[in-house]
Amino acid sequence: MMEIPQAYDAEFLGDIAEKLDLSPLSRCIFTERLSQQNLDANWTDIVESCQPRLTPDQARKDNWSRQILPKLRELGFDHDANAKKLWQAVRPWLVENRYHPWLWDKLSQISQKTQQMGIKAAPSPDHLGMLPKRNDYLTTVPLGSQVIFELQLPDSAHLTLLEREPNGTVVCLCPSPFAQTSQFQPQQATPIRLPQPSAPQPVFELTEPGKEQLIALLTREKPPFPWLEQSRFEAMTLRESQLQEMLEYVRGHNSPQRRLLYTDFKVV
């Protein structure tokens, strides 16, 4: 199991506490109790950081057992009510089940929602070059539809395109077998389209209902992700460590030469 870097630990736990709608005091107990550095700490140490000050017994019984654990159960954590040191089971459960979507949420939050990219209904094989030029992209698509992806590119750029499927799986669409070319020059009135002509199939088929999300990272230089070349030749499902690499890369470089774009659509 991947461990959360210390730099993200407090932010991750704080966001989970907000999702659980905990009171300020219970939020403090939650983040302190589940911090990696406090997993072996006693309750006396935990309450030292929280105000108003509680007794260790109050924090354990009133806040942890009666307020926090029921909300974790609603979130999906299954536990034995009589188990001891349950926080030591909660943390790996959160990392395994919530860190991956949290990383995606962080990327989408710092992405610019755009109409520069989206999906269109795929044309018939006889009319592949005759798609309309307007960027009137679809927002709702019937299940089983065949579509293509478009991106209006104003400047030359390397494209790293991620798709989050309705089931939460994140895949890299560019570079990939659908788009082995990932460095592009803008061509007047001609958008980038995926799948590319060399792809194993000319369209994407939507086989799962729900919300599809797309994030495009546009960079002047080729991103230093070691998994990009592997992704170029096989369908790549991104793990937490790879999403984390992208988040660290974007957060660590504030240059306008690096842009994140976001769009989504529903499959019904």
- For the segment 62-88, the average pLDDT, to the nearest whole number, is 88
Question: Tens digits of per-residue pLDDT, 147-166?
Answer: 999 999 888 899 999 999 99
Place of tokens 């993200």: 8
Question: Tens digits of per-residue pLDDT, 80-102?
Answer: 766 788 999 999 999 999 999 99
Reported as half-sphere exposure (CB side, CA atoms, 13 A), residue 260 has a value of 20
The residue that leads in pLDDT, 254 or 226, is: 226
Judge whether residue 133 has pLDDT over 60: no
Query: Are 251 and 107 in contact, with CB atoms under 8 Å apart?
Result: no
Query: Are 229 and 222 in contact, with CB atoms under 8 Å apart?
Result: no
Most confident listed range (67-81, 129-143, 181-195)? 67-81
SS (H, E, C) the chain: CCCCCHHHHHHHHHHHHHHCCCCHHHHHHHHHHHCHHHCCCCHHHHHCCCCCCCCHHHHHHHHHHHHHHHHHHHHCCCCCCCCCCCHHHHHHHHHHHHHHHHHHHHHHHCCEECCCEEEEECCCHHHCCCCCCCCCCCCEECCCCEEEEEECCCCCEEEEEEEECCCCCEEEEECECCECCCEECCECCECEEECCCCCCCCCEECCCCEEEEEEEEEECCCCCCCCHHHHHHCCEECCHHHHHHHHHHHHCCCCCCEEEEEEEEEEC
Q: How many CB atoms lie within 10 A of CB 36?
A: 13
Question: Tens digits of per-residue pLDDT, 33-42?
Answer: 999 999 999 9
d(C-alpha 262, C-alpha 212), whole Å: 11
Judge whether residue 120 has pLDDT over 80: yes
| Percent of the chain surpassing pLDDT 70 | 92
Query: Are 223 and 69 in contact, with CB atoms under 8 Å apart?
Result: no
